Amino acid sequence: MSLTPSKLAMVPFVSVENMMKLVHHIGIENFLRDMAAEIEADFLRWELFDKTPRIGSHSDVGVIELMPTSDGELYGFKYVNGHPKNMKEGLQTVTAFGLLAEVYSGYPVLLSEMTVLTALRTAGMSAVATKHLANKDSDTMAMIGNGAQSEFQCLAMKAVCGITNIRLYDIDPAATDKCAANLAGLGLNITKCKTPEEAIEGAHVITTATADKDMQTILTDNMVGAGVHINAIGGDCPGKTELHRDIVSRSTVFVEYPPQTRIEGEIQQMDPDHPVVELWQVMSGTAKGRQSAGEVTLFDGVGFAIEDFSALRYVHNKIKGTPFYDDLDFVADPDDPRDLFGMLQRAKG
């Protein structure tokens, strides 16, 4: 019997290096635009998916989570951590990897890094929400929090929503300088701001992406004027928020999956029955989005497994016929499925 792994045993693996090559092969803005379209397509199939809040293991310094879902044909999950203290130690706040499997056989069909991919899908999700909820003439965004996610957010707004004026603010001026330098020459008009109040001046969209593991008030009620759309994406675990509750009280709140957002999002500050609208219903036309130009809309984004599923499926399709993956001998596949021990013995050489 041959010891050569069968085709079924080989699983495409997308490393960090190959993910970056794939993104540049497609083009960053094209990738973000495609990612947003994939998320929209899956949100329109929302009722087909298994849905559960992510499974978290919390500690004093962070959280490690699993995010699973299935559409009945494919199953996907993401492993992801969130450790705000890592930044001070020279480590990523968020790292992730994911797997896609065939429901029929249970065999994996893709293993991928998801640190870079999560940044892309998170930005794509914010852009989708902005597309559906912001005033249509919006052309200026305040980016509050200029860390690892900020450049992706800004480029996604350009690629999907046509927003080209970006006002940057971070409590650390070096982060703002980094973000501005990275975005130079990419078709955006960048303004570096010294205060959050300066950043939101004239902004139609405000995106907050801060990393503190605490109940913060990055935005206070007097900072948010009529007609603004807010993407609050930094408050993504219990005990971590970015907005004063008065902002939440006077906004129309849109969420991905209420059972998860009520635990992790801005609405964890509110009563358990605080009214929210599910974003998939706005996309499908079964619920209303923005109803007036002066309304304050809030996307309370915490990230949901269907978005990761969309990202993994997109990558799985895009790597076909490219060199941007490696085959891993990942699944034991003996010639006789009942003889796993025999396969082990034959490997002695």
Per-residue pLDDT of 203-218, as tens digits, reads 999 999 986 656 677 8
Please enumerate in sequence order all residues whose Cβ is within 8 A of that of 45, keeping only pairs 6 or more positions apart, or say none.
71
User: Does 236 qualify as catalytic in the annotation?
Assistant: yes
Q: What is the mean pLDDT of residues 304-315?
A: 98
pTM to 2 decimal places: 0.93
What's residue 238's pLDDT? 74
Q: What is the mean pLDDT of residues 320-345?
A: 93
**CA-based Rg of the chain, rounded to a whole angstrom?**
21
Task: Using DSSP, state whether 160 is helix, strand or coil.
Answer: helix
What's residue 3's pLDDT? 47
What's residue 214's pLDDT? 63
What's residue 303's pLDDT? 93
DSSP H or E segment with residue 41 = helix 28-43
Does 7-116+306-346 match 123-304 in CATH topology? no
Q: What is the CATH number of domain 7-116+306-346?
A: 3.30.1780.10
Q: Which amino acid is at 176?
A: T
Tell the residue number behind the tokens 């941007």, with chain if given. 324
For residue 137 the two structure tokens come to 């003439």
What's residue 7's pLDDT? 62
31-87: pLDDT as tens digits? 999 999 999 999 999 999 999 999 989 898 888 999 999 999 999 999 999 888 898
Select from 3.40.50.720, 3.90.1640.10, 3.40.50.620, 2.160.10.10 the CATH code of 123-304: 3.40.50.720
For residue 66 the two structure tokens come to 């699993």
What's residue 212's pLDDT? 63
Q: Which of 153, 148, 150 is nearest to 130 (CA)?
A: 153
What's residue 6's pLDDT? 54
Q: Which of 1, 16, 10, 7 is nearest to 315 (CA)?
A: 16
Is the pLDDT score of 237 beyond 80? Answer: no
Q: Which of 34, 42, 236, 300 is catalytic?
A: 236
| Beta-ladder partners of 220 | none
Is the pLDDT score of 284 beyond 80? Answer: yes
| Beta-ladder partners of 253 | 298
Tell the residue number behind the tokens 């004026």, with chain if given. 165
Map out the domains of the chain as residue ranges.
7-116+306-346, 123-304
